[in-house]
Chain A
Amino acid sequence: MRAFLNLSLAMARGLARDRAAVFFTLIFPLMFLMLFGALFKDQGVGKSDIVQVGSVKVLDGMPDKERAGLRDILEIEKTDGSAAARREALEKVRKGDADAAVFQRDGKVELRYSAADQVRSGTVRGVLNSIVQQANQRATGQPPAFALQTGAVEDETTKPIQYLTPGLLGWAVAMGGVFGSAFNLVSWRRKRILRRLWLAPISARSVVGARIGVNLITAFAQTAIFLAVASLPYYGLTLTGDWWLCLPLVVCGTLAFMSIGLLVGSFAKTEEAANGMAQLVILPMAFLSGTFFPLDNAPGWIRTVSEFLPLKHLASAMQDVLTRGESWGTALPVMGGLLLFAAVLTAIAARVFRWDAA
């Protein structure tokens, strides 16, 4: 037991003193969380900028009350009605400096918008449409027979931080697992520590166990930091019921990704090669698993591929237990799958394992 603890301590010290490793396992994923969390914080479509070229009756004749109501969603910039001003306005739209240009020609209100941002142009179209409708109504002098009141649902589960946190945490755990075991294996082989340990009366189980222990502690640290930062009022993560189920999920995920690292480390001859190969595995998997953004709008084949990726299942199970109020029912099958994955890959890695660099 003392041998096991001391070996774990030696590994933990070596890891903690490796600045690059600390950065990439703890700080780097956290930076993503903080950055994405801030970027997507108010993801609702904000104000739209439109350029009004010359006089447009429906806009100029808007009652003050209606104008005040639009202040939060529409910013109108007025220019003179010359042909040059119109060209300039259209150029602005093309460049994305303005969201739309509006002008009046032969009694018709014309709206020009860019197709690049469909959400934005849809909003502008809708707003302009309703302005025109209301102007029409005023012209008929009749009170509206039907009115549709709209408003976005400010639902907790739709807040970006609610899916960013589990996804990015899954990615962080995956990186920690793959890099932790791949790097460790390669550098211990190159520095002949594997050989030296072979000559000490310690079981392979203790060596592997110590490494897993160190990785698990790192993963728990990642989880604690992630949840703490995301729960700050600024980001506003709210956890649901059995959120602590993320801990056993993190354990199973760590084992699954360490087994990938073991396989990478068995093939790679140098640390650089291990780094490259690990990146090659992790980065595409992170995108295809929807850890950075949801895959709801992705093509069908991508969603099919993602079903085979352990990170997809880890990330969605994490989301289910952390922010969607799910419990054992969703977590257990995923844990089982991850453990099975780890067992298969470890068995393969054991077959291609090499003691020596040569």
Chain B
Amino acid sequence: MSNAITADGLRKRYGETQAVDGVSLEVQRGEFYGILGPNGAGKTTTMELLEGLREPDEGTAHLLGTPSWPRDPALLRRIGVQLQASAFFERLTAREQIRTFAALYGIEESHADGMLETVGLAEKADTREDKLSGGQAQRLSIACALVHDPELVFLDEPTTGLDPQARRNLWDLLRTINSSGRTVVLTTHYMDEAETLCDRVAVMDHGKVLRVGPPRSLVQELEVDTLEDVFLQLTGREYRE
């Protein structure tokens, strides 16, 4: 069976910025994969290239054995994406949002309502998109990405802005999804999260993948105490602009 993701030499340039500079990676089916890196490292852009949201300048990405560019609706049915910045239909309530997304994938309304409950938004079902708190919007965005039971899920900083309870709940949800054989790829700035969730992580900077491996092995290889030390050793300690 083909890999969940096979990326080969992906490059993307925005004007002067080389956002992604030759990224190749392989993610096995059923794997929980993390992409780490400082702000502006190119994580989001890499995810977008993998998802087929943008056309790579160079390189190819295959998801579940199918090229993700050009756009392929049959493939899109099998993947779920939560974008770093949430995107909702204007002036619709939480329930209407997720039902609309469910309908795009031919999913029952009752299942959509169940998903809303899973992310703890049942009480906010009738609240309009612009009246949700940051964390609630984030949860709705995740629910919309998962509503069609995708085989491969991309989550861009899913836990940013969530309170500790919601974060733990989301971890449980993602573990459940993953243990049913689905592949999860996420980016995060929380090293504890990467350590507890991810089978393997890729550390990126300046559009390149610096190192890939299970968190524990990386800690051992670099002879440090935590994943955070690994991160800082690989990407340096100075601030990013």
Q: Spell out A's residues near B (CB within 8 Å).
A: 2-3, 5-7, 9-11, 13-14, 17-18, 187-188, 191-193, 195-203
Contacts and interface: CB of A to CB of B under 8 A. Distances in A.
Interface stretch (B31-39, B91-99, B159-167, B197-205): B91-99
B25 interface: no
Given A192-B87, A195-B53, A6 B100 contact: yes
B83 interface: yes
Given A198-B71, A202-B73, A192 B103 contact: no
Contacts of A192: 83, 85-87
Given A10-B89, A195-B87, A201 B53 contact: no
Interface in B81-139: 81, 83, 85-92, 96, 99-101, 103-106
17 contacts: A2-B106, A3-B106, A5-B103, A6-B99, A7-B104, A9-B100, A11-B89, A14-B90, A17-B91, A192-B86, A193-B87, A195-B83, A198-B53, A199-B79, A199-B81, A201-B74, A201-B104
B206 interface: no
Contacts of A200: 76, 101, 104-105
A14 B91 contact: yes
B21 interface: no
B83 A196 contact: yes
Most buried by B among A7, A11, A13: A13
Interface of B: 51-53, 71, 73-74, 76-77, 79, 81, 83, 85-92, 96, 99-101, 103-106
B76 A193 contact: no
Main secondary structure of the interface of A (DSSP, over half): helix
Given A14-B91, A17-B91, A202 B85 contact: no
A11 B104 CA distance: 13
Most buried by A among B73, B101, B104: B104
Contacts of A6: 99-100, 103-104
B82 to A, nearest CB: 10
Nearest 7 pairs of A and B residues by beta carbon = A6-B103, A192-B87, A201-B73, A196-B87, A17-B91, A200-B104, A201-B76
B153 to A, nearest CB: 12
Contacts of A203: 73
Contacts of A10: 89, 92, 96, 100
Given A192-B87, A193-B88, 19 more contacts: A5-B103, A6-B99, A6-B100, A7-B103, A9-B100, A14-B90, A17-B91, A18-B91, A188-B90, A191-B88, A196-B83, A198-B53, A200-B76, A200-B104, A200-B105, A201-B73, A201-B77, A201-B104, A201-B105
Given A199-B53, A200-B76, A193 B103 contact: no
Contacts of B74: 201
Nearest to A196: B87
A7 B100 contact: yes
Contact of A3 (B51, B76, B96, B103): B103
Contacts of B103: 2-3, 5-7
A187 B91 CA distance: 12
A197 B83 CA distance: 12
Most buried by B among A9, A10, A199, A200: A199
A18 B90 contact: yes
Contacts of B81: 199
Contacts of A11: 89
B105 A199 contact: no
A188 B88 CA distance: 9
Contacts of A202: 73, 104
